[in-house]
Amino acid sequence: MASWREGVAPRGQGVRLSIRGRTLALRGLRRPRRGLFWLLAIVGPGLVAANAGNDAGGIATYAQVGAKYGYDLLWMLLLISFSLAIVQEMAARLGVATGRGLLDLVRERFGIGWALFAVGVVLLANGGVTISEFVGIAAALELFGVSRFLSVPLAAVALWWLVVKGDYRRVEKVFLAMTLVFFAYPVAAVLARPDWAEVGRHTLIPTVRLDPDYLLLFVATIGTTITPYMQLFQQSATVERGVARRYYSDERWDAYIGAVFGNVVAAFIIIATAATLHVAGQTEITTAAEAAQALAPAAGPYAQVLFAVGLLGASLLAAGVLPLATAYSVSEAFGFRKGVNLDYRRAPIFIGLFTALLVLGAAVALLPGLPVFGLLVAIQALNGMLLPVILIFMLRLINDRRLMGDLANGPLYNVLAWATAVVLIVLVALMLGNMALDALGIDLFGAG
């Protein structure tokens, strides 16, 4: 007697019917493999995750990099683009190969102790960032005269309604639509009239310094570019999509496209602020909103508006993605039911944690006297310090051939991914050591 199983086919593939191991696709034609329609069909978690990294903290960090050091760190952003593409692709591949989230795999492979440790890292890394997203929403709308006491609660309620009352497809479409605001930054950079020859030179020729501020911003830039929650969201969202192994190549391209687009946007933020603030001698800014205001005299009021719109869209996107990624991860670690398609009765921990993070982030963002900019950059530096923990877990899992089969890492990916983790660990050690010496009044490198 024939046995059959019905499942959800990958995007645009209709329904899969498996009979004695043979799979038939019903109610759907295969999408075009190349061209604009193919591109629109494949983008999803990769584009959302990478652009969520360009959040309020990311914008603040990139703006400070441009204001303080001009174009000096563009070369590093170029190198990070390769690392980001590799790390996000590995997260997608883990999701496709196993059908499970990262912390679910950590619990099974390494035990509950390591899972609890990973949960602690995730909550520490993501808790502060969630607050920063609502700070970014408030700062952006205050530029348009909207009080934070109105904008922050409304944003929290809207994001809660979208996720809790929607389904995965609708949530993904809204998140993808939010990424359109990032086109504001290339336009703002062009309006700022940068020296493109200098941009090209600093992109290709490294400039290295060893002063504490440079190392802090270096690590913060890595932390905000390859943020731990991006890998968690990428893997969990890929799992929820139900992508089959044989369609994995499209997920790979989604990860690559997202990484490239996200870092091109980051580069334009640095270029815009370097061409205006750094050139004008304003090397210190206190908020990302201040960076938007500061663009107006040199680049015109439209650049200011574009920067503010980008800040608002980026903060809204990350304020939805980040609590969602955290709720996925904690639920996975303890085996609780999870998923955007589930309601509170079927997934109380998942929905409850997502709701609690939104409430906490919005409530703290309304407190007066927050050291906004210092908080944003410090959180990104913390993410950079915690990133190696997530990378090491991913690398251990993705090299387990019993788990991954033919989707396990190859030699090149291992070299590049381990190099990213080791370099980051060395940079963190240098940063912490230099900060300690600086606190003691010891200027080891003669930096001013």
pLDDT of 178 above 60: yes
The answer to whether 55 and 318 have CB atoms below 8 angstroms apart is yes
For residue range 248-280, list pLDDT tens digits in order: 777 788 888 888 888 888 898 899 888 888 887
pLDDT of residue 16: 45
Selected residue with higher pLDDT from 393 and 46: 393
For residue range 193-223, list pLDDT tens digits in order: 888 999 999 999 888 887 777 877 887 788 7
| Pair type for strands 4-8 and 15-19 | antiparallel
Q: 438 pLDDT band (50/70/90 cuts)? A: low
pLDDT of 80 above 80: yes
Which of 395, 364, 384 has the alpha carbon at shortest distance from 430?
A: 384
The pLDDT mean for the chain works out to 76
pTM of the full structure = 0.73
For residue range 103-158, list pLDDT tens digits in order: 888 888 888 888 888 888 788 777 777 887 888 888 888 878 888 899 899 999 98
pLDDT of 226 above 90: no
Q: How deeply is 187 buried, as exposed, middle or buried, from its count of CB atoms within 10 A (0-12, 13-18, 19+)?
A: middle
For residues 75 and 214, give the distance between their C-alpha atoms in angstroms, rounded to a whole number.
14
Task: Considering the chain, tell me which residue range(s) the CATH 1.20.1740.10 domain(s) occupy.
Answer: 41-439
Q: How many residues does this entry show for the chain?
A: 448
Which CATH architecture describes the domain 41-439? Up-down Bundle (1.20)
For residue range 12-69, list pLDDT tens digits in order: 444 444 444 444 444 443 444 555 444 444 456 667 776 666 777 777 788 888 888 9
- What is the sign, positive or negative, of the torsion defined by CA atoms of 436, 440, 441, 443? negative
pLDDT of residue 17: 41
Instruction: Give, for 326, the enclosing helix (H) or strand (E).
Output: helix 301-334
Q: Which pair of tokens denotes residue 82?
A: 């390769």
Alpha helices in 166-247 (DSSP H): 168-178, 184-191, 196-204, 212-225, 228-241
| Residues 312-336, mean pLDDT to the nearest whole number | 82
Task: For the beta carbon of residue 444, count every other beta carbon within 10 angstroms.
Answer: 10
pLDDT of 336 above 80: yes
When mean pLDDT is compared across 381-385, 404-408, 415-419, the lowest value belongs to 381-385
Selected residue with higher pLDDT from 46 and 228: 228
Q: How deeply is 415 buried, as exposed, middle or buried, from its count of CB atoms within 10 A (0-12, 13-18, 19+)?
A: exposed
